[in-house]
Structure 1
Amino acid sequence: MDNSENRKGRERSLKILNTLQDLIANFAIVTAYLFLVNQVILRKQHKNLPSSYQLKLQVGFMAGILGIILMVFTVKMNGTYVDFRQIAIILAAMFGGIIPAVLSGLIIGGVRLLAFGEVTTPTIVAAANTLVIAMMLGMIGRSSMSFWSKWTWSLLVCSVMTSAVFVINTGYNGMMTSAVYITMMALGGVFTAYLNEFLIKAKAQFEKIEREATVDYLTGLNNHRTFDERYQSLLQSATEKNECLSIALVDIDFFKRVNDQYGHGNGDLVLKQLGEILMKTTRSFDTVSRNGGEEFSVIMYDTPHKHSLQIAERLRHAVSRHRFRLNDGRTIPLTVSIGVATYPDTERELLLDDADKALYAAKLGGRNTVCSNQTSQI
């Protein structure tokens, strides 16, 4: 008697252990998929949303493969075999809406119908249910609901629809299967949702740190670090290809007066507006940076000295015509001084210093002017 009870106890413990192992295996598979999608397929996408049909198809295909793998690694609970295949469809819907969700549903439903046993009425019903769920989840995924609301509704749809299929296919016995399935989907769904949210937030934080390391926080232009990297790279390229590289250093005239008279808040507002003017006035392939304080720079690749002076004069003129807005609605006029130097007219080692000397000459010459390192001013 005791041996029989011990044996039954060991069998129950073994069943629980096997179930836990199956659950852990499924969670590991889902975790690997989330890292793959976030860090490989959507690594350059803002907020993890695919921006093209090609990426949406990739997400849908990968979710379909995930669903197939999850069908292989079924979980046995209370004598019933269930799986996480619909978690894959939820993820596809969350990442890209209807297109990935339907594609993953077609893949999972097709493989379930053709590769997992004979084609019978229950398997046809199950495959059709998968496709219907995929369309419903796709609509939920593209809605404006909050992240957790989408997950809650998605899990509810999967639970209701699939439980109905269990009852249709197996009658009263499907009630127990439905209870097991709902329990498992609740566990797996919450785990996957939490992990997905964590990865999205981590990616957003990493992008923020990466952006702050390369972009000036105030103007949105390249910061000094990015300027230096870009300058060295373009200078090396110009040397190897025997092409021109011009640089214009731009400095706001009497900027200290702006801070002293109107406050640093208005000074920051002026800097932001100047950054916008520089971006609008320069060419799309020019490198515009805020080097620090009120000093900006424009790197002009493959631009001869005469042409770079014309661009600098256009910048100066655009600033002198602009009325800079203050926080209280008033506007003030400002001017800039600009110094320009060009490689190979100037030795590469002296290029930045000579541009700085030209800027100094523009300041001494009365400001609101453009100076070349080759002549006094244009």
Structure 2
Amino acid sequence: MPIIALLINACVAFTGFYLISKVFHSQLFFSSRGRGVLIGILAGLLGLFLMFNGVEVNESVRVDLRHLPLVLLAFYGARLPLFVATAFIGSTRFLFGVTDQAVIAFVATWFVSIGMLWIHRRLAERVFLQSMLLNVWALSVISVAVLINLGWSVAYFTLIATIWTVGMSVGLLSSALTIDLEQTTRQSKDYKQSAERDHLTGLFNRRVWDRYTSELGTKQRTYNVLALDIDHFKRVNDTYGHANGDLVLQRFAELLLIETRSHDLVARIGGEEFVILMYDLPVEKVEKVAERIRKRIEHEVFVLNDFPPIHITASIGIAHGKSEPIQKMTEAADDALYEAKHSGRNQVVLTNVNERSLVLN
């Protein structure tokens, strides 16, 4: 019976939804583009399975639930995966033969996807309504495509009634499943960020810093620890208020992210105390980077609320070494920072931990 076959396909589609959603939210891929192509291929394969297991109405007309993976991708607003899956699903329809019905199905598949992107843009914040309208739009286009193939007949109305009954039932369940997966993933990300990020600046906190640096001494790799401190920050809080002090800290953190590489570890470990971990930079290069950061902060205009903009400066201590325990490197960076502050502030001081160890020995 057509309805039984469509329900079995719906169960397969739900499993595919779950797997594709997991890949969509995964951070294990080298680029967002590569992940997008992979998601599009997976959705296309799911659509191909649903197509091959569709209901054959007659020798030239088949009905299936291939639109469901497209609904999922449109719900996420995943344009690249949606186009990849649409091209995949639409083209493979010709595996059943190059016929007028195949051409109609190809055009209808693209029409479904383009319309769903429009719906997503208009209703992105109203997730349940959006998801249901995506299904309604897809079923409407399918109904027109089937009408072109079958014409007005009792068989057409019987088939369309089955398609809409199963399609809307599956659409309701798939909407609930997709929304639940999305909310669960967002909550998980929020909890993780709350545990790993400084609430004010968005930088990593001390917990993350300790975790990432705990085994540095066992790696045969050169690295640098930069300790940074805003000069006379207490004066900023006392003069302009703690709210403006927070604005200064937030902009300071933004500047650190701008002036460092994406794979450098930048963390806030105290009130106005920041640290940066930089791998594989020689002494000359890390000094230039630190000096660039110092100058950027010195020349930056920090905008405050209800007060004129101000300028601040920062002192930076650097510990340079290879295969040294993080505790030793941190102490060396703190010592260098202390020297910078007591030598007039707004300076960069570097300590080569390996050379210092040789002198001490």
TM range (shorter): 0.7 to 0.9
> Quick one: which of 245, 248, 268 aligns to 1:290?
268
Please state how far the C-alpha of 1:255 moved relative to its aligned partner: 1.6
Moved more, 129-138 or 94-103: 94-103
The question of whether the paired residues in 2 share the 8 Å contact of 1:67 and 1:89 is answered with: no
Higher relative contact order (CA 8 A, sep 6+): 2
For residues 149-168 of structure 1, the aligned pairs below 5 Å read 149-163=133-147, 165-167=149-151
> Quick one: which of 87, 90, 95 aligns to 1:105?
90
The question of whether the paired residues in 2 share the 8 Å contact of 1:341 and 1:355 is answered with: yes
Query: Residue type of the partner of 1:142?
Result: L
> Quick one: which of 191, 216, 229 aligns to 1:209?
191
1:18-45, CA deviations, whole angstroms, 9 ceiling, x for partnerless residues? Answer: 96x7666333211110011111366349
Query: Residue type of the partner of 1:256?
Result: K
> Quick one: which of 327, 333, 336 aligns to 1:358?
336
Show structure 1 runs of 5+ residues with no match. 1-14, 75-80
Give 1:326's aligned residue. Answer: 304
Give 1:227's aligned residue. Answer: 209
Give 2:106's aligned residue. Answer: 131
| Residue 145 (1) aligns with residue 122 (2) | yes
Query: Residue type of the partner of 1:207?
Result: K
Q: Distance in 2 between matches of 1:86 and 1:320?
A: 57
Moved more, 210-219 or 290-299: 210-219
Tell me: CA distance 1:273–1:42, structure 2 relative to 1, closer, same or farther (3 Å).
closer
Please state how far the C-alpha of 1:88 moved relative to its aligned partner: 4.1
The question of whether the paired residues in 1 share the 8 Å contact of 2:294 and 2:314 is answered with: yes
Tell me: CA distance 1:83–1:151, structure 2 relative to 1, closer, same or farther (3 Å).
closer
1:40-73, CA deviations, whole angstroms, 9 ceiling, x for partnerless residues? Answer: 3663499xx967773364145323333236427x
1:214-271, CA deviations, whole angstroms, 9 ceiling, x for partnerless residues? Answer: 333433333323322332354432xx2xx43221100112222222322222112111
The question of whether the paired residues in 2 share the 8 Å contact of 1:92 and 1:104 is answered with: no
Q: Distance in 2 between matches of 1:235 and 1:364?
A: 29
Structure 2 residue matching 1:256: 3-state secondary structure: helix
Is the radius of gyration larger for structure 1 or structure 2?
Answer: 1
Query: What is the percent sequence identity of the aligned residues?
Result: 29
Q: Distance in 2 between matches of 1:180 and 1:235?
A: 66
Structure 1 residue matching 2:54: 3-state secondary structure: helix
Please provide the CA RMSD for this pair: 3.6
Q: Distance in 1 between matches of 2:72 and 2:216?
A: 43
Structure 2 residue matching 1:367: 3-state secondary structure: coil
Structure 1 residue matching 2:310: 3-state secondary structure: strand
Q: Distance in 2 between matches of 1:304 and 1:372?
A: 12
Q: Distance in 2 between matches of 1:153 and 1:276?
A: 44
Number of aligned residue pairs: 334
The question of whether the paired residues in 2 share the 8 Å contact of 1:339 and 1:360 is answered with: yes
The question of whether the paired residues in 1 share the 8 Å contact of 2:223 and 2:321 is answered with: yes
Tell me: CA distance 1:262–1:173, structure 2 relative to 1, closer, same or farther (3 Å).
same
Please state how far the C-alpha of 1:165 moved relative to its aligned partner: 3.7
Query: Residue type of the partner of 2:265?
Result: T
> Quick one: which of 73, 76, 87 aligns to 2:68?
87
Show structure 2 runs of 5+ residues with no match. 57-61, 124-129, 354-361
The question of whether the paired residues in 1 share the 8 Å contact of 2:112 and 2:138 is answered with: yes
TM-score between the two structures when normalised by the length of structure 2:
0.77
Structure 1 residue matching 2:202: 3-state secondary structure: coil
